[in-house]
A and B are shown apart, each in its own frame.
Chain A
Amino acid sequence: MWSELKKAIASFDIPADWIGIRAVKETSTSRSVRDGLPQANGKSFTIGAMLEVLVNGCLGYAATNSLEPSSLQAAAQTAYKQALAASEWWIHPFGESERPKVVGEYKSPFLEPFDALSPGEINDLLVRICQTLKVDDKIVQTIAGASTIERESWFVSSNGSEVYQKILSIATHYGATAQDGSIVQQRSNNGSQANCYQGGLELLKQENLWHRVRQIGEQAVELLTAEECPTTRTNLVLAPDQMMLQIHESVGHPLEIDRILGDERNYAGGSFVNKSDFGNLVYGSPLMNITFDPTVAGEFASYGFDDTGAVATREYLVKEGVLQRGLGSLESQARAGVSGVACARASSWNRPAIDRMGNLNLEPLNASFEDIISGIEHGVYMESNRSWSIDDRRYKFQFGCEYAKLIENGKLTKTLRNPNYRATTPEFWHSLIQVGNAENWQMYGTPYCGKGEPNQAIWVGHGSPVCVFANVEVFGGGS
């Protein structure tokens, strides 16, 4: 691939200041089973190249699914014309400093290759998960699925960049629906598609898999007779699989510098955070430490370089409650004049890179789960996201979970169904009163973070311990 791409750049007959090609080859598989019967089996293969051309400070792009020299040449011409046509109206004059020369590679760690099991063996495993989930006649539906992605990318540029990255990732999902008359409850393994990691087929069978599968089935049935979550203000304890969503929506998105600059206002929205807040804003309580960390082995959005060639490093976004820097690429940093991170990423070869989250983690402190619960007189403990909504400035939110427990006098007591909570982002993060330790720190991810015009769904990772928030409005389902 290297020689073809470098040869192509050398052959382009366009008076550009800089040219880059990002070629992506991706093979993904998806298999799912419902009630022990196959629902989907398939493999998807895509290959293509994104060409960027810098002309008079203005970038134009063209993407093609053909890597033939004539197609790359045509794409380069198109990108050049796009840049030229926009040059009078360009939002910011960019230069090579936003496309620095970089050479290197990154590869996901893995133990077992994706062909270690045959499609039939994977289906057999999914069927067995469905069978194990059905712990009771009240289980009316069981589902199980697994998907893998093998993605290679090559980035070359006229100023000498050569970056190769190979990412292997796997996502698993299973869950059960229980019904008793008009009462229907669903329970899944940490919420929809939350178990997403980099690695190989060793991740298909997690530790304690069969215990967990039975537990999911049993909890689905348990929810049928559970009390509704009460409507009250109380201590809210969130498990890591809900903290994932909380961090994503109310810290990640508002800190994206392209949102703060207004790029997303027509689609995903803006932010309640302003450029002047970096270094100053007290975002939450002093227990709040959030890092952008693409270096965590096996986390879903780890990488060595972003899609414009910036080297990815671990950085604090919020330290002891104070906002340090934003999620902004080299382009956003140049426009906004604030510090950012290596986060220019694209969903595939057919989309231009924009500011994305990568891995965003809440750092652990020192409380064990037992200590946390025993210290609470009254509260609600919630697990696994099932509903999410937040406003365009990332301020007023409402989230719902699959499963909850009442906390009374330092103990987890009754199971609660339809648990929801709502708050505003600053109020919520200021109410953080306890953060779990490394033992209860867990990481999850999602392949469905949506953003951008044209739209892009991208993969992100989030790790967190159990956390406690004081005086939060919680409530149950409708009637």
Chain B
Amino acid sequence: MKIEELSALEVSFNRLIETLLIKKAENEQFTVKLSSERSQFTRFNHAKVRQTGCVADGWIELTLMSDQRSSVRQFPFTGNWDLDWQLAYSALQELRDELILLPIDPYLVLPSGTNTSREVHSGNLLAEEAVVSSVLEQVNELDFTGIYAGGIVIKGYGDSSGQKHWFATDSFTLDYSLFSASGQAVKGTFAGSDWNKSAYIAKISEAKKQLELLARPCKELPRGQYKTYFAPAAVADLLVMLSWGAISEADIQQGNSALAALSRQEKQLSPVFSLKENFQRGLVPRFNELGEMAAPELPVIEKGLLVNTLVNSRTAKEYQKTANGANGSETLRAPEISSGNLVFEQILPRLDTGLYLSNLHYLNWSDRQTGRITGMTRYACFWVENGEIIAPIENLRFDESLYRFWGENLVDLTDFQEFIPEVGTYDSRQLGGSLVPGMLVKDFTYTL
């Protein structure tokens, strides 16, 4: 998106807020959320282009509150004032007609703060027409598959109490896999705001080395318990589970959390394990659906103990807690697991004999109340003997409790962390990612 177009969208968004402020009745409050993007998506398979295109999208979510009732309307935001205002005004009228029909919501939270923020992160991305050749020229002899997603993403917020936020970032992610002839694969991500050709070449060279290891014959392992090293990308996959029925205060209160036992202090995790929300990297907006700003840092688990859950203002009101700027769904937005003492060179010697897992796949709670998670190994996973990689493995299913692998069985975390970017594109391009170390775990349970 050109800078003029970005600026026009901001002007149009501000005008929308100002006009809604004029139109609102005295007993009404509102919030306005904006999500917009101009993205290129180029999909690859066998080092060829499978699909390529650009998406110009944007929508407004207007929430109207009155007499302890609320309702929401979502509609397109194009930057064309006449079109956008027509939709917004029609939504406002519809909401007014609907609110009087709805039941009272005792836990409705009205916007009340005075926060404002404005962040615009510009980038130096590849030109749209240059993406295909720039990506594929480096990998044309490999079985390369994946997606390049790049462009500008905008998140905006405004409300009837005068809060206003604008966050725009120009970025890309290249999420790829390199496959061996036998079907084994190395997974990688290359992401940022500036396309750096030499960094991309270095990344591909590194992946090629792992691909050589995958050329060895596969080892099929029987089910059982194995000492296991989880590389940072695998740790990030496990971490995501905490945002799905675990770390949310509402989930804890409503009997839906895998961390309920930790919350009740019936169980604790390893003193080596600490988790916090860290917004200081500036990759995601700090404001939430009510315009509230999260603290730059929020400790969540410290030395194995739950010190904070994610609490939004609605949950706080319902359960008499203190809100901490969490989003509507009380999910982690900028998680960081602290590093430990395991140095890179000691990973294989300390593992000695066991499994080296680069990635995991398709995780789900198998028994949420006991924190038990099932899932699969995937991509560049190896059998290690006497500190040496012996062979890639046939994929294994695991079924294990977080109270074991982040608790009594956690041997150590690496002394380095990696940033694992969020590459999801459901509804729109997701932002941010997780900062995590690798981890060494004993007696991890594999079942199939």
Interface residues of A (CB under 8 A from B): 37-38, 40-48, 58-66, 68, 71, 75, 78-79, 81-86, 88-91, 118-120, 123-124, 127, 140-141, 177, 179, 182-184, 186, 261-263, 265-267, 269-270, 350-352, 354, 387-393, 395-396, 398, 400, 418, 420, 422, 424, 450, 453-457, 477-479
Contact A453 B376, beta carbon cutoff 8 Å:
no
Q: Does B160 contact A (CB under 8 A)?
A: no
Contact B49 A91, beta carbon cutoff 8 Å:
yes
With A261-B45, A389-B363, A391-B397 as known contacts, state yes or no: A61 contacts B128, CB within 8 Å. Answer: no
Minimum C-beta distance from B339 to chain A (A): 29
A-B contact pairs, 9 of them (CB 8 A): A41-B98, A60-B52, A61-B52, A183-B369, A265-B177, A393-B395, A396-B448, A422-B397, A454-B429
Complex partner residue of A387 from B50, B71, B366, CB under 8 angstroms: B366
Contact B177 A266, beta carbon cutoff 8 Å:
yes
CB-nearest residue of chain B to A143: B254
With A182-B266, A266-B176, A398-B448 as known contacts, state yes or no: A83 contacts B73, CB within 8 Å. Answer: no
Q: Does B213 contact A (CB under 8 A)?
A: no
Minimum C-beta distance from A224 to chain B (A): 11
Contact A81 B376, beta carbon cutoff 8 Å:
no
Q: Does B442 contact A (CB under 8 A)?
A: no
Contact A179 B53, beta carbon cutoff 8 Å:
no
With A91-B50, A477-B367 as known contacts, state yes or no: A398 contacts B447, CB within 8 Å. Answer: yes
- How far is it, in angstroms, between the C-alpha of A89 and the C-alpha of B42 when the chains are bound? 12
Complex partner residue of B56 from A64, A184, A389, A454, CB under 8 angstroms: A64
Minimum C-beta distance from B114 to chain A (A): 27
Complex partner residue of B146 from A78, A79, A266, A396, CB under 8 angstroms: A266
Minimum C-beta distance from B219 to chain A (A): 16
- How far is it, in angstroms, between the C-alpha of A86 and the C-alpha of B50 when the chains are bound? 9
CB-nearest residue of chain A to B370: A478
Of A44, A45, A82, A354, chain B has the most CB atoms within 10 Å of the CB of A82
- In the complex, which residues of chain B have a beta carbon less than 8 angstroms from the beta carbon of A263? 43, 45, 50, 145
Q: Does B48 contact A (CB under 8 A)?
A: yes
Contact B128 A81, beta carbon cutoff 8 Å:
yes
Contact A75 B56, beta carbon cutoff 8 Å:
yes
Complex partner residue of A66 from B42, B78, B397, CB under 8 angstroms: B78
With A420-B366, A453-B43 as known contacts, state yes or no: A398 contacts B52, CB within 8 Å. Answer: no
Q: Does B51 contact A (CB under 8 A)?
A: yes
- In the complex, which residues of chain A have a beta carbon less than 8 angstroms from the beta carbon of B401? 478
- In the complex, which residues of chain A have a beta carbon less than 8 angstroms from the beta carbon of B374? 387, 389, 398
Minimum C-beta distance from A346 to chain B (A): 11
Contact A396 B370, beta carbon cutoff 8 Å:
no
CB-nearest residue of chain A to B401: A478
- How far is it, in angstroms, between the C-alpha of A400 and the C-alpha of B41 when the chains are bound? 35
With A85-B129, A262-B145, A455-B426 as known contacts, state yes or no: A140 contacts B56, CB within 8 Å. Answer: no
Complex partner residue of B132 from A47, A86, A140, A186, CB under 8 angstroms: A86
- In the complex, which residues of chain B have a beta carbon less than 8 angstroms from the beta carbon of A388? 364
Complex partner residue of B53 from A68, A352, A450, CB under 8 angstroms: A352
Complex partner residue of A391 from B40, B42, B361, B424, CB under 8 angstroms: B361
Contact A48 B147, beta carbon cutoff 8 Å:
no
Minimum C-beta distance from B221 to chain A (A): 13
Contact B76 A127, beta carbon cutoff 8 Å:
no
Minimum C-beta distance from A428 to chain B (A): 12
Q: Does B308 contact A (CB under 8 A)?
A: no
- How far is it, in angstroms, between the C-alpha of A421 and the C-alpha of B302 when the chains are bound? 36
With A422-B447, A479-B370 as known contacts, state yes or no: A86 contacts B49, CB within 8 Å. Answer: yes
Interface of chain B residues 258 through 312 with chain A (CB within 8 A): 260-261, 264, 266
Q: Does B106 contact A (CB under 8 A)?
A: yes
With A61-B52, A265-B45 as known contacts, state yes or no: A391 contacts B73, CB within 8 Å. Answer: no
CB-nearest residue of chain A to B183: A270
Contact A63 B425, beta carbon cutoff 8 Å:
no
With A82-B54, A396-B395 as known contacts, state yes or no: A91 contacts B45, CB within 8 Å. Answer: yes
Contact B128 A120, beta carbon cutoff 8 Å:
no
- How far is it, in angstroms, between the C-alpha of A91 and the C-alpha of B57 when the chains are bound? 27
Interface residues of B (CB under 8 A from A): 39-43, 45-59, 69-78, 80, 83, 87, 94, 98, 101-107, 128-133, 136, 143, 145-147, 149, 175-177, 179, 183, 185, 187, 254-256, 260-261, 264, 266, 361-367, 369-372, 374-376, 378, 395, 397, 399, 401, 424-426, 429, 447-448
- How far is it, in angstroms, between the C-alpha of A338 and the C-alpha of B136 when the chains are bound? 28
Contact B59 A140, beta carbon cutoff 8 Å:
no
- How far is it, in angstroms, between the C-alpha of A387 and the C-alpha of B71 when the chains are bound? 32
- In the complex, which residues of chain B have a beta carbon less than 8 angstroms from the beta carbon of A177? 254-256
- In the complex, which residues of chain A have a beta carbon less than 8 angstroms from the beta carbon of B55? 62-63, 350-351, 454
Minimum C-beta distance from A92 to chain B (A): 8
Complex partner residue of A457 from B107, B143, B426, CB under 8 angstroms: B426
CB-nearest residue of chain B to A418: B367
**10 shortest interchain CB distances as A-B pairs:** A61-B53, A120-B101, A42-B72, A478-B370, A454-B425, A477-B367, A453-B147, A91-B48, A44-B74, A478-B372
Complex partner residue of A38 from B105, B128, B133, B143, CB under 8 angstroms: B105
Contact A45 B43, beta carbon cutoff 8 Å:
no
With A91-B46, A182-B266 as known contacts, state yes or no: A83 contacts B52, CB within 8 Å. Answer: yes
- How far is it, in angstroms, between the C-alpha of A165 and the C-alpha of B80 when the chains are bound? 28
- How far is it, in angstroms, between the C-alpha of A90 and the C-alpha of B71 when the chains are bound? 47
- How far is it, in angstroms, between the C-alpha of A453 and the C-alpha of B50 when the chains are bound? 10
- In the complex, which residues of chain B have a beta carbon less than 8 angstroms from the beta carbon of A120? 101-103
CB-nearest residue of chain A to B83: A66
Contact A391 B53, beta carbon cutoff 8 Å:
no
Complex partner residue of A262 from B41, B45, B131, CB under 8 angstroms: B45
With A90-B48, A177-B255, A263-B45 as known contacts, state yes or no: A391 contacts B378, CB within 8 Å. Answer: yes
Of B40, B107, B361, B369, chain A has the most CB atoms within 10 Å of the CB of B369
CB-nearest residue of chain B to A53: B53
Of A46, A391, A422, chain B has the most CB atoms within 10 Å of the CB of A391
- In the complex, which residues of chain A have a beta carbon less than 8 angstroms from the beta carbon of B75? 44-46
Of B40, B87, B395, B429, chain A has the most CB atoms within 10 Å of the CB of B395
- How far is it, in angstroms, between the C-alpha of A127 and the C-alpha of B101 when the chains are bound? 14
CB-nearest residue of chain B to A140: B255
Complex partner residue of A42 from B71, B103, B361, CB under 8 angstroms: B71
Minimum C-beta distance from A30 to chain B (A): 9
- In the complex, which residues of chain A have a beta carbon less than 8 angstroms from the beta carbon of B366? 387, 389, 398, 400, 420, 477-478
- In the complex, which residues of chain B have a beta carbon less than 8 angstroms from the beta carbon of A270? 183
With A265-B179, A392-B361 as known contacts, state yes or no: A46 contacts B369, CB within 8 Å. Answer: no
Minimum C-beta distance from B186 to chain A (A): 11
- In the complex, which residues of chain A have a beta carbon less than 8 angstroms from the beta carbon of B130? 85
- How far is it, in angstroms, between the C-alpha of A186 and the C-alpha of B365 when the chains are bound? 14
- In the complex, which residues of chain B have a beta carbon less than 8 angstroms from the beta carbon of A127? 103
Contact B101 A89, beta carbon cutoff 8 Å:
no
- In the complex, which residues of chain B have a beta carbon less than 8 angstroms from the beta carbon of A269? 361, 378
- How far is it, in angstroms, between the C-alpha of A418 and the C-alpha of B56 when the chains are bound? 45
Contacts beyond the supplied A89-B136, A91-B45, A124-B103: 12 A-B pairs with Cβ under 8 Å: A38-B103, A40-B72, A41-B70, A61-B51, A66-B76, A82-B52, A182-B264, A184-B256, A262-B179, A263-B145, A398-B366, A454-B55
- In the complex, which residues of chain A have a beta carbon less than 8 angstroms from the beta carbon of B56? 62-66, 71, 75
Contact B376 A392, beta carbon cutoff 8 Å:
yes
- In the complex, which residues of chain B have a beta carbon less than 8 angstroms from the beta carbon of A398? 366, 374, 397, 399, 447-448
- How far is it, in angstroms, between the C-alpha of A266 and the C-alpha of B264 when the chains are bound? 40
- In the complex, which residues of chain B have a beta carbon less than 8 angstroms from the beta carbon of A47? 76
Contact A42 B369, beta carbon cutoff 8 Å:
no
- How far is it, in angstroms, between the C-alpha of A387 and the C-alpha of B256 when the chains are bound? 14
With A91-B45, A91-B48 as known contacts, state yes or no: A82 contacts B107, CB within 8 Å. Answer: no
CB-nearest residue of chain B to A423: B448
CB-nearest residue of chain B to A74: B56
CB-nearest residue of chain B to A47: B76
Complex partner residue of A82 from B128, B266, B361, B369, CB under 8 angstroms: B128
With A61-B51, A261-B45 as known contacts, state yes or no: A266 contacts B397, CB within 8 Å. Answer: no
Minimum C-beta distance from A187 to chain B (A): 13
